[in-house]
Amino acid sequence: MPTLATDLDSLTRFGRALADPIRCRLLLALREAPAYPADLADVLGISRTRLSNHLACLRDCGLVVAVPEGRRARYELADRRLGRALDELCTAGLVIAADRSCVDAEEKDCC
């Protein structure tokens, strides 16, 4: 049964999701509109298996939800505010100066 996350927990989950380039691209795609996994895999240029793993992670983090539609499931952001937060991060002219070693490090952890 899902539980409500604390503010810190929510930010940590959101940050981990954004730390992975594929999950970040997936959230950005879902920010535009809900979509089916096959379509998302095509848009992102990755296998359906790989996409499924990332969707499971985002679902477990509480960031996306699967909406059943017959035999298929459509994915969308769990909360409209996530889309607005992504909009703010992308359109605010945000500039971050980061140490190259931080930029090159890849976290393999899931949310």
What is the Cβ-side half-sphere exposure of residue 102, based on CA atoms within 13 angstroms?
4
CATH number of the domain that residue 83 is part of: 1.10.10.10
**pLDDT 10s digit of each residue in the chain, 111 long?**
556 667 788 888 888 888 899 999 999 999 999 999 999 999 999 999 999 999 999 998 889 999 999 999 999 999 999 998 888 888 766 666 666 665 554 444 444
Query: Domain for residue 11, yes or no?
Result: yes
63 is a domain residue: yes
Instruction: Return the axis-axis angle of helices 21-32 and 48-60, rounded to nearest 10°.
Output: 80
- Model confidence, pTM: 0.76
Assess if residue 65 is contained within a domain. yes
pLDDT of residue 4: 64
- Structural domain that includes position 71: 7-104
What is the dihedral angle through the alpha carbons of 45, 50, 55, 61, rounded to the nearest 10 degrees?
A: -130
The answer to whether position 35 is within a domain reads yes
